[in-house]
Amino acid sequence: MSINEHVTEGCDQYAVFGNPIQHSKSPFIHTYFAKVTQQSMSYGLEEPEVDSFEEAASAFFANESVKGANVTLPFKRDAFEFADRLTERAQLANAVNTLIKQPNGEILGDTTDGKGLVYDLTLQFGDLSGQSLLLIGAGGAARGVIEPLFSAGISRIHVTNRTIEKANFLVEQFSQFGELSASALDHLPNQGFDIVVNSTSSSMTKELPAITETIFDNASIAYDMFYSNEITTFNEWAKNRNSSIKTSDGLGMLVGQALESFRLWRGVTPTESEVLALINELKAQLSN
Ligand code: NDP
């Protein structure tokens, strides 16, 4: 089902595919990006039935004015299958969140979540070079961020997950990019970490991963990929253990991944101060 009838003659068309998708912030974000960079485009919402992504995406891309799309849950793997060609980072992540129509009509699949995390961490906390990172969780989001974090200069990553097999699998996949290790949540290495990233969905249900809170003692940053209108359960826990730790939720990551999609589609990006203004506006919207 197409929620927004967003086909406007004479301008390039984009949309985000997901189910459910009504509460997506992507149309607001991309409309803002288009406005500040003076791009003539529109961006809508597409909500196919969960088993109808291919049909819906084919119909959408058949329109000549359609130039690209974002894809979110539960369709990231369907988009991976749908794309005619994949970037290396999409192949590594095994998922696609950005589809780009090429001049020859081919659909290129890419993933921008990892860039989004690196963008937000760097924007808020500066250069990541030489920092060690504990990555809690080994799901789809974790898989997409390991290579971009190493590319940004992170020196060492330890992955820990409730289901240890998934953490071990990530080590097999990504060891070629840097110093990477894995363990169960209750078997962490003795060394501390500069940055602790929660890529589990635990904060969604106000739960905490079953891991020791000493992980925050030597860390300067706690980052929860989940975002909400109040401090996340994970970040509150980090602050209670270490009052000097800086915390962030994943709102800036969401904006960062959108920024990278927008750059791939349009070849331009808003300025840093325009991005910061958007993040502040989104925070204000969330708290209302
Ligand atoms: P997946 O379903 O692929 O993975 C979920 C992960 O969370 C698994 O590692 C799972 O462990 C773990 N988990 C879930 N509940 C618990 C719990 N109670 N205790 C410990 N571990 C738990 O989800 P994604 O990787 O796609 O997303 C993870 C989070 O990241 C979500 O909150 C999502 O909103 C957020 N996200 C944010 C983005 C942003 O732009 N800000 C982008 C993408 C994701 P196990 O393997 O043992 O089941």
pLDDT, one tens digit per residue, over 244-263 is: 999 999 999 999 999 999 99
Q: What is the pLDDT, as a whole number, of residue 124? A: 95
Confidence band for 9, pLDDT divided at 50, 70 and 90:
low
Asked if residue 5 has pLDDT above 60, the reply is no
The proportion of the chain whose per-residue pLDDT surpasses 90, expressed as a percent, equals 94
pLDDT in tens, 27-41: 999 999 999 999 999
Q: How much is the pLDDT for 288?
A: 77
Is any ligand 1 atom within 6 A of the Cβ of residue 225? yes
What is the CA(107)–ligand 1 centre distance, in A? 28
Place of tokens 């985000």: 16
Q: For 83-107, what is the mean pLDDT?
A: 96
Confidence of residue 287 (pLDDT cuts 50, 70, 90): confident
Is 159 or 5 the better-scoring residue by pLDDT? 159
Band (pLDDT 50/70/90 cuts) for residue 278 is very high
Q: For the segment 105-145, what is each residue's pLDDT rounded down to a tens digit? A: 999 999 999 999 999 999 999 999 999 999 999 999 999 99
pLDDT of 24 > 50? The answer is yes
Average pLDDT value for residue range 73-78:
95
Does pLDDT of 10 surpass 80? no
Q: Average model confidence (pLDDT) for the chain?
A: 95
What is the percent of the chain with per-residue pLDDT over 70, rounded to a whole number?
Answer: 97
Q: What is the pLDDT of residue 267?
A: 97
Contact 48 CB / ligand 1 (< 6 Å): no
- How much is the pLDDT for 174? 97
Distance (Å, whole) CA 169 – CA 174: 9
Nearest C-alpha to atom 13 of ligand 1 is from which residue? 200
Question: Tell me: the pLDDT tens digits for 191-214?
Answer: 899 999 999 999 999 999 999 999
Mutate which of 200, 205, 208 for ligand 1? The one with the most ligand atoms within 8 Å of its CB, which is 200
199 CA distance to ligand 1 middle (Å) = 5
| Domains of the chain with CATH codes | 2-111 (3.40.50.10860), 114-251 (3.40.50.720)
Distance from the alpha carbon of residue 277 to the mean position of ligand 1, in angstroms: 28
